[in-house]
Structure 1
Amino acid sequence: MKNIFIVVFAFICFSAKAQQAGTAEVKFPVADPSPADIVYFPLNAPKVKAGDPTKPIIKIVYSRPQKKGRDIFGVLEQYGTVWRFGANESTEIHFFKKVSIGGKKIKAGTYSLFAIPNKDTWTIIVNSETDKWGAFTYNPSKDIVRVNVPVKTLAKPIEYFSLTFTPVTEGANLIIGWDRTQVELPIGF
């Protein structure tokens, strides 16, 4: 009987210790200063109600760095250098159906977006490699298409790197804005 009591006591002590170890405080990472965001075309695609036939055509997942009083293009992001098109992981664009960019047909699927900013024009790049951190391992041999687009200078700066779409007759324009810079990438479908 004494041995059974010792075994039960040891089991209770061991169980209590194991439960304490399982309730140790978890350390969660701090919030990222460049939060992730998603933009769809059509813009209302993720919010449609039952019975609404609207389906997404394009989805972009990107991180939104902030200006924080800095000069961005030509200073923080050097002219003539491949840029990750946001912050953190490379920006990913998903086409739910075949599209056309710069006269090139692109199959439905997920791709990465990069840019080469310059003072008067940007080169927007659609690349087949995804799940990369920034542009550190960018491989130009994986480019699907490169398109040069003009720069529009804005009167007021935009604090967060921002993306949106505007509809056009045969597709949509991806509007890119940050600091005092705005560019548009036409996408046909």
Structure 2
Amino acid sequence: MRKAFVIIVLLFLAALTTRAQQFPLLDKSPADIIYFPLKAPSSKDPEVKPIIKVIYSRPQKNGREIFGVLEQFGKVWRVGANESTEIKFFETVKLGDKKIKHGTYSLFAIPNSDKWIIIINKITDKWGAFTYDQSADVARIEVPVIKSSKTIEAFSITFIPTDSGAKMMMGWDNTIVEVPFVFSGKK
């Protein structure tokens, strides 16, 4: 009886070990979420509500040359890695002269050495930019490239408040771009 009990316990432990091995390894480009205002998700103040949320993957430089080599100049890029980057507007915003209604969109870019074209597209939940469809673009804006004084190892996005809304800053390697959003009720 004791042998049977020990065998059952060992089989149970072996089954648990097998189950634990079914989890995938950590992705090389982990996902991240950034909000504007930055404190929106953790604020206890009911007046602090999110205006923008970006869900993106953060690829690493790992000694590679990024823009112009890994990410080709003049080609549509998913702005990150893995799935296309998702941007959600909780209210109507303006990008350049285009109004973008509240909702969820994909964020793409066409990087060049001196400027990027930032693209807001209505097709979401796609892998990369392989099936990007320009006819689904909602807005485009051209923004200048700013050279970073320090290497940015992991692709990163953050927001900086402005008088009229916010600048979404994207940086990787030695490149930074600022994307200006204007919020409703602000000029």
**Correspondence for 1:83:** 77
Which residue is equivalent to 2:152? 158
Question: Where does structure 1 lack aligned partners over 5 or more consecutive residues?
Answer: 1-15
Alignment-derived partner of residue 5 in structure 1: none
Pairwise CA distance, 1:28: 0.5
Alpha-carbon distance in 2 for matches of 1:89, 1:33: 13
Corresponding pairs, count: 171
Give me the CA root mean square deviation.
1.5
Q: State how 1:31-46 maps to structure 2 within 5 Å.
A: 31-46=26-41
- Residue 156 (structure 2) pairs with residue 168 (structure 1): no
Which position in structure 2 is the counterpart of 1:9?
none
Larger radius of gyration: 1
Secondary structure at the residue paired with 1:47?
Answer: coil
What does residue 42 of structure 2 align with? 47
Q: Which runs of 5+ in 2 are unaligned?
A: 1-7
* Cα distance in 1 for residues equivalent to 2:55 and 2:148: 24
Deviation at 1:24, TM superposition (A): 7.1
Q: What TM-score, normalized by structure 1, do the two folds share? A: 0.87
- Percent of aligned pairs sharing the same letter: 61
Aligned-partner SS, 2:25? coil
Runs of 4+ in structure 1 deviating by more than 4 angstroms, as ranges, are 19-24
Deviation for aligned residue 1:22: 7.4
Q: CA deviation at 1:155?
A: 1.6
* TM-score, L = length of structure 2: 0.88
Q: Give the match for residue 69 of structure 1.
A: 63
Q: C-alpha distance in 1, partners of 2:31/2:42?
A: 18
Range with greater deviation from structure 2 (84-93 or 21-30)? 21-30
Deviation per CA, 1:75-123: give whole Å up to 9, x if none. Answer: 0000000001000000000000000001101100000000000000000
